[in-house]
Amino acid sequence: MRVLLDYRPALRERTGVGEYVHQLAKELARLSSSDGASSPAAPRPRGTGGSAGPDVVVFSSSWKDRLRDSDAGTLGSVGTIDLRWPVGLLNLSWHRFGWPPVELLAGSRFDIVHSPHPLVLPSRYAAQVVTIHDLDFLVNPDRVLAEVRRDYGRLARAHAHRADRIIVPSAYTAGQVRVRLDVPPDRISVCPEGVPDWTAHPAGPPSGRQKGYILFLGTLEPRKNVGGLLSAYRRLLDLNPGAPRLVLAGKAPPEAAPLLAALATAPLAGRVDHLGYVRPDARQALYEEAGVLVMPSFDEGFGLPVVEALSLGVPVVASNRGALPEVLGDAGLLVDPDDAESIATAVARVLSEPALAASLSARGRERARSFSWRRCATLTRDAYELALEARRRRVSGRRAPSAGR
């Protein structure tokens, strides 16, 4: 089975979807190697045949960002296709006109073409798979910008019905896809995401954990409810003026300007640090110095920072919305994202009650063991098989003679 995976979300900054694409490509290649089916030394597939080249190929197209400048060097036995096409122009052509087919750009055929977002990659021959991480863009279009607002809400339903298989990271998102996109459950595969190959601390919280900072990790976008977190932190400072500082780790898009401006005013001035985007190789150290991770999102299709924090024994306070209760289980504290007092109280408990922090740390490590990128890749490969079967049935149906002939 030859798979083409759109790697563009991981090109510049590996945020949620980018991390998903990177880890999935790496683990799919490892699965192929362990099966003895891959060709690690195979060249980039530029021929017209459908069998030469690696089993997993990542596709990149950007005018500015080159695949070789990203983290592709850590992917192992993965083939690469790196074209100099502007991302926006190609997406506009793909979304609006369904052209050019990816085989024309790649110079090769594939069995599977996998898009890590809700809109399919145009293909003449391959089974088409999409990953839908969440449907917040459909439920709250005012929270998204640019081509996501322009195309996703208008096209997601049609593309979901066109895809041969839909992958989601949680049962919550599966339910959203069933209800809002009217997709039968037998066309959806739930493939939970995983945790990095980090070496965790020994059991129990590291020395001084309760004195660590309060951490938020994610893009400072409306869905993440950073404004609510800042309100909760103000309340926490009222309760405890000596509370640890708050660290915001994540890219700040232009619409986050009011949030950044608030950091310069009392009582937040000098108490809140904005680090911006944190590279993957620096994330473990960021978590390890934290006393608690807070994720107060209004909606999450999975919540990757939650499982990353759990894997290192960092106590977690998370919203009771979206997939977060499903992912966190009983390994953390759930709060109402609309209630700043609820968030502040939960954070204060973790920071002031060592026994609670230690219990959450132990439960978190245990919970994190159920999430792995290898399992995600295995389930994804199963989804590919189902996509191939769906495409065979669809093609066979088109070729079958009509009744009465």
Among 252, 235, 271, CA closest to 347:
235
Locate all alpha helices (DSSP H) within 223-311, ordered by sequence: 226-239, 257-262, 280-288, 304-311
Task: For the chain, report the end-to-end CA distance as a whole number of angstroms.
Answer: 36
On whether the CB atoms of residues 303 and 322 are closer than 8 A, the answer is yes
Query: Which pLDDT score is estimated for 204?
Result: 46
CATH number for the domain whose boundaries are 209-368: 3.40.50.2000
User: For every one of its 405 residues, what pLDDT tens digit does the chain have, with 9 covering 90 and above?
Assistant: 999 999 999 988 888 999 999 999 999 999 887 775 444 333 334 333 344 445 999 999 888 887 766 665 677 788 889 998 888 889 889 988 999 999 999 999 999 999 999 999 999 999 999 999 999 999 998 888 777 878 888 999 999 999 999 999 999 999 999 999 999 999 999 999 999 888 755 544 454 445 699 999 999 999 999 999 999 999 999 999 999 999 999 999 999 999 999 999 999 999 999 999 999 989 999 999 999 999 999 999 999 999 999 999 999 999 999 999 999 999 999 999 999 999 999 999 999 999 999 999 999 999 999 999 999 999 999 999 999 999 999 888 776 665 544
In CATH terms, are 3-194+372-399 and 209-368 the same topology?
A: yes
Give the domain ranges of the chain.
Answer: 3-194+372-399, 209-368
Among 156, 150, 151, CA closest to 182:
156
Query: Which pLDDT score is estimated for 69?
Result: 62
Please state, in angstroms and rounded to a whole number, the distance separating the CA atoms of residues 34 and 38.
Answer: 8
CATH number 1.20.1370.20 is the correct assignment for the domain at 3-194+372-399: no
Please state, in angstroms and rounded to a whole number, the distance separating the CA atoms of residues 337 and 342.
Answer: 8
